[in-house]
Amino acid sequence: MELVKEIEFEEAYKRGFAFVDVRTKEEFEEFRIPGAYNVPLFTKEEREKVSKVYYEKGEKEARLYALEIVSPKLPRIVKEIKKIKEKEKNVAVYCWRGGLRSLAVATICNLTGVHVFRLKGGYRAFRNYILRRIGEILKDKKVIVLYGPTGVGKTRILRELKEEGFPVIDLEGLAGHRGSVFGGIGLTQPSQKMFDALVWQELERLKESPIVVVEGESRKIGKLFIPEPLWKKMGEGVKVLLELPLSQRVKISMEDYGVGQFPKETYLEALLRIRKILGDEKYRQIKELIEKEEYPEAVKELMVNYYDKLYSRSIPQTQVKLQAKDYEEGKEKFRELLKGYLSPSE
């Protein structure tokens, strides 16, 4: 009788399995299957010690040493997974590539009557699956890409329309970055692997929709890259340009970036990174405005002398242009446009 049954990720996902990650807390926090539980077999320090024994004394000694570390933990580990199984019913445990850690946990669970599966290939198999799956989901979809100069409220519009049920993927929200030199202030970015997994999760949510709506971005958001299949579809998609008056854009940027909520030094540090682009005279002018906390004027100067110039060079040719007097009108015009793509026969 087979003690530990393996299961492919796709089958486990379709059957609604819960996933238990037995890697260290640090590995789990860096990247994981979205929604997974973490019941670590080792701490980071313990894993490093086992690795040291392996390289110094060989595999047999390393396994014996690992057993010494793990043995006192096993009752607690089994109890934790038992609680998860009682809540979720079907459970698959995994480690990095379906190795000894997941095998050990699955074996002891099954021996004690807590029946679990082991994810075949571990996290690495999951990652290979989602990178392929992203392309499959996007194959027959039309991607609507919302562009517009800084301050038109693109991200805000998309988030509000998402709450209304429109098929939006908030790339900046998933990436933990607003996509500009000041875009990382107050935010933390996930790892590339985690970002890819979150994009896949959103695409699965929208797999029945004929369209996907995203914000116009460069390929890189902060330190992260948009997955290649999505980036390609964005290039082929319907490009919509939203334009608002400068005064409205300053107001929206002040709100969306939380300008004034962080120390002046935070803004000055970001400003220093674009000094060469601004030129010394303009840099000193904006620096002085920030030091005096005259933020609306500083934002206006940054828009005119940095963001708009940068945007004019990077924005692609757009098929649809929407002009509005304020944010609400802009959002309404974009909403009506999306309705047309969702119900083309009406």
pLDDT at 308: 84
- Decide if 23 contacts 37 (C-beta within 8 A): no
pLDDT at 3: 85
Q: In what order do the strands lie in the sheet with 211-215?
A: 211-215, 142-147, 238-243, 320-323
CATH numbers and ranges of domains, the chain: 5-129 (3.40.250.10), 140-342 (3.40.50)
Q: How far apart are CA 204 and CA 212, in angstroms?
A: 11
Q: Where are the beta strands (DSSP E) in the chain?
A: 5-7, 18-21, 37-38, 91-94, 117-119, 142-147, 211-215, 220-221, 224-225, 238-243, 320-323
pLDDT at 318: 73
State the DSSP code for 42: S
For the stretch 325-343, what's the b/e string if a residue is b when 16 or more beta carbons lie within 10 angstroms of its beta carbon? eebeebbeebeebbeeeee
Which candidate, 184, 150, 173, places its Cα nearest to that of 267?
A: 184
Q: How far apart are CA 36 and CA 295, in angstroms?
A: 42
Q: For strand 220-221 and strand 224-225, is the pairing parallel, antiparallel, or unpaired?
A: antiparallel
DSSP string spanning 153-203? -HHHHHHHHHHTT--B--HHHHHTS-SSTTTTTT-----HHHHHHHHHHHH
pLDDT at 186: 60
**Which residues lie closer than 8 Å to 61 by C-beta, 6 or more apart?**
53, 54
* pLDDT by residue, tens only, the chain of 346 residues: 578 999 999 999 999 999 999 999 999 999 999 999 999 999 999 999 999 998 999 888 988 988 999 999 999 999 999 999 999 989 999 999 988 899 999 999 999 999 999 999 999 999 999 999 999 999 999 999 999 988 899 989 999 999 999 999 999 999 987 655 555 556 689 999 999 999 999 999 999 999 999 999 889 888 999 999 999 999 999 999 999 999 999 999 888 877 877 888 888 888 888 888 888 888 899 999 999 888 889 989 888 888 888 777 777 777 899 999 999 999 999 999 999 999 865 4
pLDDT at 256: 80
In the numeric block, which tokens belong to residue 333? 């015009």
Which amino acid belongs to residue 256? D
Helices 74-88, 100-111: inter-axial angle, 10-degree rounding: 80
Residue 296: its H or E element: helix 295-302
